Structure 1
Amino acid sequence: MEPRQSSPASPLLEVSGLGIELDTHRGPARAVRDVGFSLAQGETLGLIGESGSGKSLTAMALMGLLPQGARTQGSVRLAGQELLTLSDAQMCRIRGQRIGMIFQEPMTALNPVHTIGAQVAEPLRLHKGLSARHAREAALELLHRVGIPQPAQRIDAYPHQFSGGQRQRITIAMALACQPDLLIADEPTTALDVTVQQQILDLIADLVDERGMSLILISHDLGVISQNVDRMLVMYGGMVVESGSTEQVFQHMAHPYTRGLLAARPHMASAGGAHKARLSTIAGTVPELADLPEGCPFAGRCGFTADPCWSERPAAREPQAGHRVRCLREEAMAAAPPGLAGAQA
């Protein structure tokens, strides 16, 4: 599936200077730091990084679903409306109606004691004011559209009576019920086998195209991102370390972490044959929030770490128009073979 061309329309979503501070057992910690991006109507954006990089927390800030006690700064504007200052009641009117979300684990997103028909119909009754009969009819159409077999016979079934892939299709129907402007898909294929993963990704892409929605796709898989979004943000330690069009980033990876992620991907050629190379890895592990350095969050794990990396926050620069990167060791990394940057054999 080829990435779609981005829309020239004015931004639907504008995020600037987004910061999120959480209370941890070791005190306050900055979980997201100075994140900014914009998204036009009909455009697709990928957020990629390891667990703990801040991807899902950024998405939760857009939805107004941050953990209790979380503190935010910066701005999140949807069609010009500031979201970070809205009350819970006001955000409830945004969620589902203007912004839909597909969660990575459908069994936790679905209520086990309610039928799937009731759950898909609920946002239609809540946000659109439909009667029970009309909401049920609309839910039936949605279940048919997302590929649930025999929806008329299964609309009164419960979540445990469906396979993992079917449950994810049901959560997609719920997210799309009110035809939101923005769809957030948070690791939507994590618990699915490879064949079902592609079916779900194809379904999301088709629905986004069909309804003209904007999409934020969150993943740790570079392959998923490369095939499904127009632009991408690479996140590490709560910071965007590289961003640009998908084509730009993959052709000119300018940050050690981005290169490390690519080098760590398994390749078919290494799965068999006379020569079996060891899979490259990124040294170390993602540090706890309280242990992130003041400077570059990747300092220490990066093979190009120098003293300034620990204390000096890298400024964003543009090696080419629209392609931004935060790295103090640009020259040293550019001179190294691509497979060595940020990874170890």
Structure 2
Amino acid sequence: MSRSLLEVRDLRVTLRTARGPAEALRGLSFSLQRGDTLGVVGESGCGKSLLALTLMGLLPDGARVSGSVRLDGRELLAQDEAAWCRLRGHRIAMVFQEPMTALNPLQPIGRQVAEPLRLHRGLDAKAARAEALRLLEQVRMPQAARRLDAYAHQLSGGQRQRVLIAMALACQPDLLIADEPTTALDVTLQREILQLMADLVAQRHMALMLISHDLAVIARNVRRVLVMYGGLGVEQGPVDQVLRRPLHPYTRGLLAARPRLGASRSQRLHTIPGRVPELADLPRGCPFADRCAHRAAVCDDRPMPQVASPQHEVACVRWAELMA
């Protein structure tokens, strides 16, 4: 079997908070092959975006990180900032959640798309501008030549998202991370952006990590899914297996909370009781224990991932009992 492009093992990140150090990622492990697509889902505060920032080497000051993150066999956590700068935008690229704040309002779009081309590929200004135009055309930017000299505030939300994708793809990265790339876009634009990313991943044979809270988006656009809660991967596997036969109580709660077509107006939506705890308040054992209807004394110990079936793992000590 060929080596994975990305190997994450026992990844732990501790952040400074007003209440002292808090473990935000708590032993996360997964892998990603070239050409593969992984969806990362969970409620706000479960650690999805922090995972993306860790993989980009963009953790806040004072953060402590341990474990292993390997890209093509190269350990990334041991790299200094100069090495990270050579990787970011080159071999690992990210489409950030909010394009209006991710783009520089003082620089024209063409210059921003050209910047990674000049930094990482050594193109001169003329060649970088020509390549920036080609990239904008590739991401189907309307009137791309005219947009080169436009500013972010002159573009629509969908157009700004296309600019971010063009910037991320400029140096043909091995791994593309997309953090909620369709936030605030209407359904038609969502479909266009996600299809565009799928086409580009297939053409360039790169790996895609798609972060979203929308299970429908995940179901349609990735092959594998990682469900996160409390900084822990509580369930992961092929998307059809996980979403059709969820094993962890949290995954089952997320699926049950989806609105359903044809439901009567009087039918109340299922909700997961409680709320995602603050980092400093996470229980010592299973992070979902305080909200779980099936909590038992054994849940007070940190759960280890268990193999439920080939490629399908769940971090719940009672999963087999509950499914039975």
TM-score with structure 2 length normalisation? 0.98
Identity across matched positions, percent: 62
4+ aligned runs moved over 6 Å, structure 1: none
Partner of 1:59: 52
Tell me whether 1:300 sits opposite 2:290 in the alignment: yes
Q: Which residue, out of 324, 329, 332, partners 2:313?
A: 324
The structure 2 residue matched to 1:282, chosen from 242, 266, 272, is 272
Q: CA deviation at 1:21?
A: 0.1
Measured against aligned partners, the alpha-carbon deviations of 1:221-259 in whole angstroms (never above 9, x if no partner) come to 111111111111100000000011112112221000001
The CA deviation at 1:332 is 4.7
Structure 1 residue 292 displacement after superposition = 0.5
The two structures, once aligned, show a CA RMSD in angstroms of: 1.1
Deviation per CA, 1:310-340: give whole Å up to 9, x if none. x2111211111111001122245314xxxxx
SS at match of 1:259: helix
**Structure 2 unaligned regions, length at least 5:** none
Q: Are residues 1:187 and 2:177 paired?
A: no
Question: What is the identity, as a one-letter code, of the residue corresponding to 2:318?
Answer: R
CA–CA separation in structure 2 for the residues paired with 1:233 and 1:173: 26
Give matches, 1:333-344, under 5 Å: 333-335=322-324
Residue 4 of structure 1 is matched in structure 2 by: none
Q: Within 5 A, what are the aligned runs for 1:81-100?
A: 81-100=74-93
Measured in 1, the distance between the counterparts of 2:309 and 2:152 equals: 48
1:160 Cα deviation after fit:
0.4
Q: Which one of 190, 200, 205 corresponds to residue 207 of structure 1?
A: 200
Q: Give me the whole-angstrom Cα distance separating, in 1, the residues matched to 2:213 and 2:172.
A: 27
The alignment partner of 1:293 has SS state of coil
On the 8 A contact 1:32/1:239 being kept in 2, the answer is: yes
8 Å CA contact 1:314, 1:326 repeated in 2:
yes
- Return the alpha-carbon distance in structure 1 between the equivalents of residues 223 and 42 of structure 2: 17
Q: Over residues 75-119 of structure 1, what are the superposed CA-to-partner deviations in whole Å (9 max), with x where a residue is unaligned?
A: 001011111111111100000110110001001110000000000
Of residues 12, 18, 40, the one that matches 2:11 is: 18
Structure 1 runs not aligned, ≥5 long: 1-7, 336-345
Structure 2 counterparts to residues 98-117 of structure 1, below 5 A:
98-117=91-110
Would the aligned equivalents of 2:10 and 2:29 in 1 still touch at CA under 8 Å?
Answer: yes
Would you say how many aligned residue pairs link Structure 1 and Structure 2?
324
The answer to whether structure 1 residue 217 and structure 2 residue 217 are counterparts is no
Q: Is the 8 A contact 1:237 1:298 kept in 2?
A: yes
2: CA distance, partners of 1:125 / 1:181: 19
Would you say 1:144 and 2:137 are equivalent positions?
yes
